[in-house]
Structure 1
Amino acid sequence: MSASQKRPLSPADESSDEAEFSSSAPILDRSSTFVAHFHPLTSSTSTSTSSGQATTKQASLTSTVKACQSHPDFASADHRMVAWRRPSAQRTLGLGPATTSVAPKPVYAVGSDDDGEKYAGKRLERVLIDLDVEGVIVVARWYGGILLGPVRFTHIEMVARDAIRKWKSRQEGQAKRQKTASRETPSTGPSPEVVDEAQRAKLAKQLAERDNSIVILRGLLAEKTAKAQQESGEKSSQTSPTSTNPNASPPKKVDYSGMPLQRLRQLDKARDATIAFILKQIDLAEEEEHKRQVNTKTDTSEGEVDKS
């Protein structure tokens, strides 16, 4: 069965349990497909006591993770990488209420399973930590028969972030709808100013993360470009602006904390476009590298035939 036949027809389609998870848009790269699901840890089961009273019991983490990996959308995938993050029973040591009013920071338990894609699980753990969410993230890959190299980890992280952001956006949309429905009722919730400030803080943190991803991707592109020049015998008299020069000063960090919300939203869309462009350039560079390898093997074979 070909890779295209194995892929789900529409990974992002809504399903009966859509309220329980969020699905990313697929990333296709040289016949390989990557799709992510994010499942918040809200699954529970109802049981009855001897007195007939119904109680709700939280499903075990192991069963939840297995259920997420076994989702029908991923039944034909070659890899189903997974990571999870949940509050731990442990607590940080605090000074106590007598000396401070600040509550101790929560401690989280994280874990992962590479499912044959080495190091992918740890990268997914980092995504959960960076976006500060509790739940299970599963990334499925349908292998197309062509090795992608390090860029596959970028695809894995991108679809994971996309699924989590879509879930967050849906949560925000539900909160807005509830707020609209209760306008006539006196509300004790946060004011619009407080909500906007929270969104500003979230976008500022998110943009800083994307700036870091762009630096990493540009460095990867510079390495591939330099390798291509070296293999073709070209010598550049200039240093590429994206090259990883150990003596070069690090890129200046932008302070997003003081920017208005509308400007942060515009920058967020711009960063998305930049990342997509760099990924496309990396794909082109890897295609050229593959062509050079094929040509080198062909030249070597012809040379051996001439000698004989």
Structure 2
Amino acid sequence: MARAWHLERRPQGMPVAGDFALRDIAVAPLDDGQVRVRNLWLSVDPYMRGRMNDVKSYAAPFALGEPMTGGAVGEVIESRADGLSPGDRVVHMAGWRDEAVIAARDAQRLPPLDAPPQAFLGQLGMPGMTAYFGLLRVAEARPGDTVFVSAAAGAVGSTVVQIARAHGMTVIGSAGGAGKCDWVRSLGADHVIDYKSGDSIVRQLAAAAPQGIDVYFDNVGGDHLDAAFATAREGARFAICGMIDIYNTGAPTQLRYIARTIAARIRIQGFLVSDWLSHAPDFYRDMGELLAKGALRREETVVEGLEAMPDAFLGLFSGANRGKMLVKV
């Protein structure tokens, strides 16, 4: 019998254990064009918090009492579809469970890169694509730019740091605590801000970038976004990827320095990685080259067992992860 996590009730603020339930699900027979996948690795990502609310957004909310979904890597164990056979490793979106029956068109065979399968849920998957396209296409970052990235010890932010360094940019990362700051520095960041130090982020960023920043890659919102406005150079570009600071509170970000948008002619653009999926071959080509050169490093925080999925998810909001948070089924 397969098992899947279900959303039992809409969280109020920070989710709690009672918002989720692990239940058996029927093992359905395959129709033509479908495959059965045994999941090996499950992804937990901050955007999933928004799908727990019953609000209109870019992704439909999770339905109460129904299995949840998310990124997963698994092995095909049964197939009634051309092009996929038992033993094939695939990435798909029927996560939060140990087994899934999905249409073959919704499963992509892992790209032929020299990396373990779970990497395609992190640096070589959606988070990596988010970093790549957000930095190079949305923010149009170029050699010589000074780039500020928040949550630089996370899956997206740590990849932004490395791509920016590989393209000849000066990189300032923000992370929480000495250990994470040291790791971000080891990835090539020129300066690292410890947002848990008690010192003002504005003051720390101004000291790290006395001439200002050209690009801000936002994963956090809040005081980090304020600091980016305060230190932006003329013509700065902000790529707004996420605002984890407000996902559980709903409180608006304080925009004390937003008036600088006018004088500095700041361009602010939100984006979704799905906007760029048609350009995925560019991502795999360029990241494959960096991987072959040894210019990419990654770290994964692995939680064992399907039963621990909610705990891994909640860990994202307390800074429990360094690099990509994963559940090994």
Both structures adopt the same fold (TM-score exceeding 0.5): no
TM-score, with length taken from structure 1: 0.27
TM-score in terms of structure 2 length: 0.26
Which structure shows the higher strand fraction?
A: 2
- Greater Cα radius of gyration, structure 1 or 2: 1
